[in-house]
Amino acid sequence: MLKNLMKKYFPGLYSSQTYLAFGVEPSRTQYPLDKARYLMMARYLHEESVRLGRPLKVLDIGCSEGMMLLYCRKNGTPVRFFGIDILEERKKIALERGYESVLLKDLRQCDFREFHQKFDAVVCSHIIEHLEDPGEFLRRLKAALEPKALLLVGVPIGLWPGILWRRHITPRINPWQKKEAVLKRFGHVSFFTLPDLKRVLLQSGFQAEECRGDFLIRARGFFLENYKWWFDFNQWYGRLLPGVLGHVTVRARLLA
């Protein structure tokens, strides 16, 4: 609501130019905070490749158009990407960018053994909040992973008052937000505090190693996202308070 009012009454605060954000993809600002997670995950994958001393085989769940590969190329990570998505047009672009294969599949019915191989790492960014049972999904995922495999999982994060409101009050006020309606359009049906997310991961066989927030305040195209100091401030905040609002990315590892 506030963002819409700002755009309506103060349009000059929002950029209309196009930049190559982080030297990777077109954007209305030079340091878009909604892309910060790609930089972070690319760094985690680079560190894992160095640790193993070889290129990684990575499964990108909900790979969309394959942007993750572009960020890994930018930071020099040797990696082989495989993806899952539901749209043919996204698959085509991801393959053109260098994904070795993309499986068209609804994640709720996906059998990860269909890949007939094991992966060193999995990118699962902003996926499990769309699933009614994230734990069941993560347990199925383990069938496709090497021992001690890396899992990079990102979700919107919140505090208990807001989550309780979203779970129990909003659906009563707005029928469009009832779980049955949200499931049909593959919207958000699971809501997390950071302890919630860590608990789901652990119960599913993954140990969280590091948690990082993406931003404190974000508005796409907002003029402050053209300044490196603003990006650095939000990254500092994300390291300091990863579980307070915004999004969180967790580096986790498959337990033995």
Q: What is the pLDDT of residue 251?
A: 98
For the chain, domains (ranges, CATH) are: 18-157+192-254 (3.40.50.150), 161-189 (no CATH)
Q: Quick check: 69 and 99 in contact, CB under 8 A?
A: yes
Q: What is the pLDDT of residues 93-108, one digit of tens each?
A: 999 999 999 999 988 8
Q: Which runs of E-coded beta strand occur in 49-181?
A: 56-61, 79-85, 101-104, 119-125, 145-156
**Regions in the chain scoring below 50 on pLDDT:** none
CB contact at 8 A, 98 and 66:
yes
Neighbours of 48 (CB within 10 A): 20
What confidence score (pLDDT) does residue 184 get?
74
Helix (H, G, I), strand (E, B) or coil at 57: strand
Q: In a 10 Å sphere around its CB, with 0-12 CB exposed, 13-18 middle and 19+ buried, how is residue 89 labelled?
A: exposed
Encoded tokens for 203:
């119960």
Report pLDDT for 199: 97
Nearest CA-CA partner of 45 in 152, 144, 132: 152
pLDDT value at residue 38: 96
| Strand partners for 124 | 153
Q: What is the model's pLDDT at position 61?
A: 97
Mode of pairing for the β-strands spanning 119-125 and 145-156: parallel
Question: What pLDDT sits at residue 239?
Answer: 94
pTM for the full model? 0.91
C-alpha pair distances (Å), 247 with each of 59, 128, 155, 182, 216: 21, 13, 6, 20, 9
